[in-house]
Structure 1
Amino acid sequence: MDRMNQAFEKMKMLVGMEVGDEEEQPEPSFLDDFNRNCTLSTKQRLYGFAICLAAGITCTLMSMLVFFHPIKFGITFSFGNVLALGSTAFLIGPKRQLTMMLDPVRIYATAIYMASIIIALFCAEYVQNKLLTLLAIVLEFGALVWYSLSYIPFARSMVSKIVAGCFDTEF
């Protein structure tokens, strides 16, 4: 029976539900209240994830149609990335999403990724310089890859070693 309770708690943790005793928590924060008031069933979470991810991928792919218009490309590509990133909040909940994003292992990757999205949108919307927008999108794509690799154990160190090996000039 204890083993079944542990499995049930792991399942709750995977879908972003609260695990443990509620009376041990001293004072609920804004995100705790938000999570408690916005409870979704597993089916609703999966639908939300699928719809948000599909919309994000669609925006990202649609941005390729306007590739030669860097300002439109920057806006649709960045919006697609934000939607795809937000889709995981449906699965694990916004509080856990933020906790994982601000984890010491990936705090720098998250900061660079978020900053690159803001820079790309700023260059596309306010500066309206095609070259700067294109450079910001390249930075955003690289930051997206590096951020994604932070969720795979040892992936960033492996990619770093491969890139260092490719640019090693000693034979």
Structure 2
Amino acid sequence: MWKQVQSLFSDQEDDEELQENLLDETEGLCNISPKQRLYAFGVCSLAGIICMFLSMVVFVIPIKFAVLFTFGNLLAVGSTVFLMGATRQLQMMFDPVRIYATSIYIGFIVLALICALLIHSKLLTIIAILCEILALIWYSLSYIPFARAIVSKVMIRLFDTEI
């Protein structure tokens, strides 16, 4: 390791050697067995669910609630990276079928955190969290074939305003 640090301050000829050494060290980090992937998925999902339930304990403090709930959401949604890989996860998230749902969901995550951490508005934080929950539901429905179309038709029939 000390040689790598020293090579940072040496001439550029050693840069290629340093890059090769760093690549060799990180090459095996992503090679985990299917059993380890399932364990990581389970632990990450469970941690997300625990954070979401803990957020209910601090519900009266909207800022803590927003941070815990959003962190739990991100852990739960991100846990699928262990099952399919980060590249495949991002491809699915930004697939033309669900790009709008993903963008809206990520937008409300950012908005909820901004309302909680920067603006410190309890009312805006609660509204942003409610929108985040609805966006998460809509995003989740995008993975079930025809689910969004069915929900849309049901909502139109339930809330039809024709007299």
The percentage of counterpart residues that share the same residue type is 58
How does 1:117-128 map onto structure 2 within 5 Å? 117-128=109-120
Q: How far has the Cα of 1:56 moved from its partner?
A: 0.2
Q: What is residue 161 of structure 2 aligned with on the other side?
A: 169
Aligned counterparts of 1:89 and 1:112: Cα–Cα separation in 2? 20
* Structure 1 residue 35 displacement after superposition: 9.1
Q: Which residue in the other structure is 2:41 paired with?
A: 49
Shift of 1:36: 7.7
Alignment partners' CA distance in 2, 1:97 and 1:87? 10
Residue aligned with 1:40, SS: coil
Given candidates 140, 150, 164, the residue that maps to 2:132 is 140
Match of 1:84 in 2: 76
Give the letter aligned to residue 94 of structure 2. Answer: L
Correspondence for 2:96: 104
**Cα gap change, 1:161 to 1:35, in 2 (>3 Å):** farther
Q: Which runs of 5+ in 1 are unaligned?
A: 1-33
* Separation in structure 2 between the aligned mates of residue 161 and residue 148 of structure 1, nearest angstrom: 17
Number of matched pairs:
138
Quote the residue 1:158 is aligned against.
Answer: 150
TM-score (norm. length: structure 1):
0.78
CA RMSD of aligned residues (A): 1.5
Q: Distance in 1 between matches of 2:94 and 2:161?
A: 37
- Pairwise CA distance, 1:169: 2.6
SS at match of 1:67: coil
- The structure richer in helix per residue is 2
Q: Runs (4+) of structure 1 moved beyond 6 Å? A: none
Q: Which has the larger radius of gyration?
A: 2
**Cα distance in structure 2, aligned partners of 1:72 and 1:84:** 18
1:43-88 Cα shifts (integer Å, max 9, x gaps):
1100100000000000001100111111110000000000001100
**Pair 1:95 & 2:97 matched:** no
Distance 2:143 2:161 in 1: 31
Asked if 1:73 is matched to 2:93, the reply is no
Among 50, 53, 68, which residue is 1:58 paired with? 50
